[in-house]
Amino acid sequence: MSFTVGLTGGIGSGKTTVAGRFAALGAGVVDTDEISRRLTGPGGEAMGPLREAFGARFVAPGGGLDRAAMRALAFEDPGARARLESILHPAIRAEADRALAACRAPYALLVVPLLFETGGYRDRVGRTLAVDCDEALQERRAAARSGLAGREVRAIMSAQWPRWRRLQAADDVVWNGADPGALDAQCARLHRDYVARGALAD
Ligand code: ADP
């Protein structure tokens, strides 16, 4: 298993974009959102237990999870949210652990949106990296990408740590408040540092 850096950041901050930069530089990327989408997609391993827990109403015609319906239920019903998490979180963690164990890159980047908030992955990572940009920009980017209304993006943001708290907790920060070209030098510098840390940890 490689030295592992936990990458986090608020919705729309640019985690996926930044993880892609590190992957291009040679990092092994394990993205818990991507794992979640796979597990809840058509034929995904979590679909059986989810159908059993919530009923066929939450299964989309293709066989994957009806995300909009599930998101609405989870927002209004804390019990349903807890049941959803009790099915998904252990399955995602097990998949992430498998992917990390198989990683042969100089280091692994584990992308976890709520790395600090939930604490469930803190023991897996040797270092933490926050992707940061101001909150108005986060909202604009997230809304443009997902089609969610500004109000919905703000509701998600309010369940996440505020920017200052994440910045205070993270070992490293990538500032993604400008055009993507501003990421090049920041990612290259951190990549060199992580490769060195990975070599020390071997
Ligand atoms: P996250 O994974 O943190 O939710 P993404 O990396 O998916 O964020 O970025 C959210 C949206 O903003 C995407 O559509 C992405 O292409 C765009 N984006 C990210 N960084 C930048 C940037 N520096 N300039 C312009 N658009 C960006």
Tell the residue nearest (CA) to atom 23 of ligand 1.
180
Q: Per CATH, which fold does 1-27+105-202 belong to?
A: Rossmann fold (3.40.50)
Strands 4-9 and 108-111: parallel
Q: Check pocket membership of 9 for ligand 1, CB cut-off 6 A.
A: yes
Which stretches within the chain are classed as H helix? 15-25, 32-39, 47-54, 67-76, 78-102, 115-118, 135-146, 150-158, 163-169, 183-201
Can you tell me which atom of ligand 1 is nearest the CA of 144?
14
Q: Whole-model pTM? A: 0.94
Give the residue extent of every domain in the chain: 1-27+105-202, 41-104
Tens of pLDDT along 172-202?
A: 999 999 999 999 999 999 999 999 999 998 7
Q: How far is the CA of 136 from the centre of ligand 1 (A)?
A: 13
Task: Please state, in angstroms and rounded to a whole number, the distance separating the CA atoms of residues 163 and 82.
Answer: 25
Tens of pLDDT along 106-142?
A: 999 999 999 999 888 999 999 999 999 999 999 999 9
Q: Residue 31 corresponds to which tokens in the numbers above? A: 């993205």
CA 183 vs. chain centroid, Å, equals 19
Q: Please, which residues bridge with residue 7 across strands?
A: 111, 129
Check the CA dihedral 141-147-152-155 and report its sign. Answer: negative
Listed in sequence order, the residues at least 6 apart from 103 whose beta carbon sits closer than 8 Å to its beta carbon are: 1, 2, 28, 30
Tens of pLDDT along 26-83?
A: 999 999 999 999 999 999 999 999 999 999 999 999 999 999 999 899 989 999 999 9
